[in-house]
Structure 1
Amino acid sequence: MSDLNICYLTASEALRRFKDRTLSPVELLQAYLARAEEIKDTVNGFTALYAEEALSEARKAEARYAADAGDLRPLEGLPTGIKDENNIEGKVTTFGSLIYKDNVATSTTPVVQRLLDAGVVVHGRTTTPEFSSEGFTHSRLWGVTRNPWNLDYTPGGSSGGSGAVLAAGMAALATGSDIGGSIRIPASACGLVGYKPPYGRNPATPPFNLDFYNHPGPMARSVEDCLLMQNVMCGPHPKDIVSLKPKLELPIDRGGVSGWRIAYSLDLGYYEVDGDVRRNTLAALDIFRSLGAEVVEVDLGWTKKSEKAADDYLRTIFGAWVAEYLDERAEKLTEYSRAFAQASQSVTAQDFLASLYTAGEMYSTFGPMMEEFDVFVCPTLALPAVKADYQPVDGLTINGKTVDPRHGWIMTYPFNMLSRCPVLSVPSGHAENGVPTGIQIVGKTYCDADVFRAGLAFETAVGGWFADAASRPAL
């Protein structure tokens, strides 16, 4: 049986214990593997486990700690889940699609290579909806991934498997990618920390490195863990023309937010927001006030116009990419990705241009407003989560009102439109159904350190998440 106290250690604490030899990388990995075996059919967060290979790497890390190696790497020995859209050379990468069921990658995604070089032990691949195209996680290939806090609900998506294995105590860290909220959605729904870095901060591969909505990033159970992982993933890459120079090294800044001015909006001007989400967001804002910050409600002037703009933008690049499979392979597609691909066929160049105008209009109010504030806070999701097997074609209501079935429950995509703004999602509480809720801490363009300083202050005030049995999923 797994030791849950070990399984829910933060990565930062695990590293400290590796160094003082009160825990070894092998012991931690074995606990995660035991946990995965216990609940493998419950959550369905992994597509594959590499137990023997991972144990071999963990033994090497254990030996390095035992020898007091002078060149220990920053994430040495930490078992890490890799999203099944990130290539690992020599490993099957399916993108959640039957089309790629037996696809063996011939290269490794840059951010994954950096994690490997930093010493992580990859022990499994995490589930994703087909082609990472939705905010939930189920596919014809891998079935339904479920939220560890309430199995009737989704862990979010598209990095839903990463969210599920972290929340269920099966990994220390996990990778995500965010093109409309795919890191922050599962972070909120699973009670985790997830970071959407500013565009270009973390390298990616063509064509999506050239898509300014796209952001590879870290997911973890604490703000410090997320920061440590981000410091490894970021920095310029010779094959990514948009990757930023120089590399940014974020400090663990616990200076607090006393004297800061924090702007907020509960609904971004146009969302229908669930009562539990609203209550928990207001409570989180009270915590910032208790820490000495001035918290001010603002009107951004945003409207539902952004929903169409985001749809049109995503369809022109992302949707067109999925549409390459609308040939003899179309019969293998999952319903939602086929619909997404088909919708991309009717979007025009004028629609794409209009989406850029809308993004510009949104920043024309957000940017000047942020000149008066340190960070901006809003809910991550308007609804704690949709059902685990949710289909957008079935429609969606919040508070009895019909909302857009794809965008109406996720409050993340506006900050893919404003892609140079860093965004950290942190837990804000739980809904009555047990599903967590989250808030987004949004910074000024490329001011990564500000959102982490605010996140660290908030986390310190509320106490560590997953710290005891009462604060963990009851699986």
Structure 2
Amino acid sequence: MDLCYLDACEVLKHYKSGKISPVEVLQAHIERYEQVGAEINPFTQRMFERALQQARAAEQAYQRKKARPLEGVITAIKDETYIRGEVTTNGSRLLQNNIADVTDPVPERLLAAGCIFHARTATPEFSVASYTWSDLWGVTRNPWNTDITPGGSSGGSAAALAAGLCTIANGTDMGGSVRIPAAQCGVVGLKASHGRIPEIPPYNVDPYVHHGMLTRSVRDMVLLYNLISGPHPVDLMSQMAKEPVASVPLDLRGLKIAVSLDLGFFSLDDDVRSNTLAYAETLRGLGADVELVTLDWDARCIRTAQIHQGAQMGHMLREKYDRAEYHDQLTSYVKHYFSLSSAASPQRILEANDYAQHMWQALEKVFQTCDFLLCPTVCSTRVPADFDYSRDTLEIDGVEVDPVKGWFMTYPFNTLSRCPVLSVPSGFAANGVPTGVQLVGQPYADTRLLQLGLGIEAELGVFLHAGNRPLDLQVVKA
């Protein structure tokens, strides 16, 4: 049994039967980390000794038949997520001694359900990049090809999950920060409809901001969604009726799925294009009615997202850290981000809001006749691990693209934040890096989207359960 690649549903089944214990699984993850951790660099902090004590307690809870829903599930937590009393650096040298005085709703619920947090995962400074490196923690690499980025900003979480260093991991998503690394690392990532999963103030009031999870399977995502979603006292935006998802796969026969390869303006690597078309053809073979559609979006999508993020997150960060005495401690890309975000004038904010409405009207026309939209998650799998959008250029399919946002297709659905999006693997690129597709649901239709994912997974199996492993890693067995 491959302990490092069991999904949470399998782990829990085996814990309950007594076939394996939380201690054995944690020890397997630690052994794997000792083999490959230095090469991938996914963790900022390791709490292995504390976790071993918690795993022994979880083992006893199963023996006493007192286990909680996620008792003993080994979980990596992004080093942006607040846990009271613990250091949270967000990848910044300015915050390397920052102690959180609150706990975010998602880790609060994971802890209450019995998860064991054994490590904190790397993020770019202040989570403002789609790659994962910082001056504080160094470069995090893709376990499938260490020359390539695992994506960001939840890159450490996705890399750890793909490398077999945890059973589940969390992430946050303001422009794709869960879905980009999910695609790059061959795992599953969800951006729920805004408000479905609670977030801590003041981030909860920004509709672009979502807390989420990274998993090996859609069934794990359903399990976790049901535990972490729903109203929370600190989050006004979460005060809507909880909508539990039944683990019932959606029948693909007769479903209408629209496919957009470029969302109107993105350039794609050939292998991303071919894998997306092949995935669409697979869905057609499973009975779905699949059709190519055209969206009239253009590069104003980039500007819309940049202006919004500059007015919200960018403004908050500039107020705190855009000071002369801090500049020599900031990464090059954060200083560039400050420069870009300072352009968010009231007039440009109004223009961005107008274009966001145009984006929705175009997508709403698609949803008049189709149940879901399918598109790639990232445009290229060739972005280097040490890429820096403040200095580097990027070319895709012979076209030079915006180095900040030109290589991933996620942020339009942060603009349209009430649409849930599930990123799932679609295959491999020529360089060995996974590719992914986004399944986009209608506003607040999280249940139906997750059940679509379950339906596809029931037919195709789980990407990381089908003999697919980063090629240079050894399997830890029991």
Matches within 5 A, 1:305-320: 305-320=300-315
The superposition leaves residues 299-350 of structure 1 with CA deviations (integer Å, 9 ceiling, x where unpaired) of 1211111111111111111111221201122221111011111222232011
Please state how far the C-alpha of 1:468 moved relative to its aligned partner: 5.2
**Residue in structure 2 matching 1:396, options 394, 397, 406:** 394
The superposition leaves residues 166-215 of structure 1 with CA deviations (integer Å, 9 ceiling, x where unpaired) of 00000000001000000000000000000000111111122211111000
Matches within 5 A, 1:214-293: 214-293=209-288
The superposition leaves residues 213-237 of structure 1 with CA deviations (integer Å, 9 ceiling, x where unpaired) of 0000111111111121121211111
Instruction: Give the length in aligned residue pairs.
Output: 470
Q: Aligned partner of 1:447: which letter?
A: A
- TM-score normalized by structure 1? 0.97
The superposition leaves residues 353-394 of structure 1 with CA deviations (integer Å, 9 ceiling, x where unpaired) of 111111110001111321211111000011124100001121
Instruction: Provide the residue aligned with 1:33 in structure 2.
Output: 30
**Residue in structure 1 matching 2:340, options 340, 343, 364:** 343
**Distance between the aligned counterparts of 1:431 and 1:444, measured in 2?**
29
Secondary structure (helix, strand or coil) at the match of 2:384 reads coil
**Distance between the aligned counterparts of 2:400 and 2:81, measured in 1?**
35
Relative to 1, partners in 2 of residues 1:374 and 1:468: Cα closer, same or farther, differing over 3 Å? closer
Instruction: Provide the residue aligned with 1:408 in structure 2.
Output: 406
**Distance between the aligned counterparts of 1:343 and 1:471, measured in 2?**
39
Instruction: Provide the residue aligned with 2:321 in structure 1.
Output: 325
Please state how far the C-alpha of 1:258 moved relative to its aligned partner: 1.1
Does 2:85 correspond to 1:90? yes
Please state how far the C-alpha of 1:459 moved relative to its aligned partner: 2.1
Relative to 1, partners in 2 of residues 1:121 and 1:331: Cα closer, same or farther, differing over 3 Å? same
Secondary structure (helix, strand or coil) at the match of 1:466 reads helix
Worse-matched range after superposition: 115-124 or 299-308: 299-308
Please state how far the C-alpha of 1:247 moved relative to its aligned partner: 1.6
Q: Is the 8 A contact 1:189 1:385 kept in 2?
A: no
**Distance between the aligned counterparts of 1:24 and 1:200, measured in 2?**
35
Q: Is the 8 A contact 1:179 1:215 kept in 2?
A: yes
Q: Aligned partner of 1:433: which letter?
A: N
Q: Aligned partner of 1:449: which letter?
A: T
Q: Is the 8 A contact 2:148 2:381 kept in 1?
A: no
**Distance between the aligned counterparts of 1:296 and 1:287, measured in 2?**
13
Residue ranges of structure 1 left out of the alignment (5+ in a row): none
**Residue in structure 1 matching 2:76, options 76, 81, 89:** 81
**Distance between the aligned counterparts of 2:424 and 2:197, measured in 1?**
20
Secondary structure (helix, strand or coil) at the match of 2:465 reads coil
Instruction: Provide the residue aligned with 1:358 in structure 2.
Output: 355
Relative to 1, partners in 2 of residues 1:148 and 1:375: Cα closer, same or farther, differing over 3 Å? same
* Cα root mean square deviation, aligned: 1.2
Matches within 5 A, 1:128-167: 128-167=123-162
Please state how far the C-alpha of 1:294 moved relative to its aligned partner: 0.2
**Residue in structure 2 matching 1:10, options 7, 14, 17:** 7
**Distance between the aligned counterparts of 2:28 and 2:382, measured in 1?**
29
Secondary structure (helix, strand or coil) at the match of 1:166 reads helix
Secondary structure (helix, strand or coil) at the match of 1:376 reads strand
Q: Aligned partner of 2:10: which letter?
A: E
Q: Is the 8 A contact 2:243 2:447 kept in 1?
A: no
Secondary structure (helix, strand or coil) at the match of 1:306 reads helix
Relative to 1, partners in 2 of residues 1:257 and 1:450: Cα closer, same or farther, differing over 3 Å? same
The superposition leaves residues 68-98 of structure 1 with CA deviations (integer Å, 9 ceiling, x where unpaired) of 22xx322111000000000111111001000
Secondary structure (helix, strand or coil) at the match of 1:82 reads strand
Does 2:145 correspond to 1:174? no
**Distance between the aligned counterparts of 2:467 and 2:281, measured in 1?**
26
**Distance between the aligned counterparts of 2:115 and 2:100, measured in 1?**
19
Please state how far the C-alpha of 1:105 moved relative to its aligned partner: 1.2
Q: Is the 8 A contact 1:273 1:398 kept in 2?
A: yes
**Distance between the aligned counterparts of 2:333 and 2:88, measured in 1?**
20
Please state how far the C-alpha of 1:469 moved relative to its aligned partner: 4.5
Q: Aligned partner of 2:322: which letter?
A: L
Instruction: Provide the residue aligned with 1:68 in structure 2.
Output: 65
**Distance between the aligned counterparts of 2:221 and 2:227, measured in 1?**
10
Instruction: Provide the residue aligned with 2:459 in structure 1.
Output: 461
Secondary structure (helix, strand or coil) at the match of 2:238 reads coil
Please state how far the C-alpha of 1:450 moved relative to its aligned partner: 1.8
Instruction: Provide the residue aligned with 1:374 in structure 2.
Output: 371
Instruction: Provide the residue aligned with 1:47 in structure 2.
Output: 44
**Residue in structure 1 matching 2:384, options 382, 387, 390:** 387
**Distance between the aligned counterparts of 1:258 and 1:63, measured in 2?**
46
Q: Aligned partner of 2:162: which letter?
A: A
Relative to 1, partners in 2 of residues 1:284 and 1:378: Cα closer, same or farther, differing over 3 Å? same
Q: Aligned partner of 1:198: which letter?
A: S
Instruction: Provide the residue aligned with 2:476 in structure 1.
Output: none
Q: Is the 8 A contact 1:374 1:450 kept in 2?
A: no
Please state how far the C-alpha of 1:470 moved relative to its aligned partner: 4.5
Q: Is the 8 A contact 1:395 1:405 kept in 2?
A: yes
**Distance between the aligned counterparts of 2:381 and 2:448, measured in 1?**
26
The superposition leaves residues 253-312 of structure 1 with CA deviations (integer Å, 9 ceiling, x where unpaired) of 224211111111011111111100011101111111111110011112111111111111
Secondary structure (helix, strand or coil) at the match of 2:344 reads coil
Relative to 1, partners in 2 of residues 1:462 and 1:468: Cα closer, same or farther, differing over 3 Å? closer
User: Runs of at least 4 residues of structure 1 off by over 6 A?
Assistant: none
Q: Aligned partner of 2:207: which letter?
A: F
Q: Aligned partner of 1:114: which letter?
A: R
- TM-score normalized by structure 2? 0.96
Q: Is the 8 A contact 2:197 2:230 kept in 1?
A: yes
Instruction: Provide the residue aligned with 1:112 in structure 2.
Output: 107
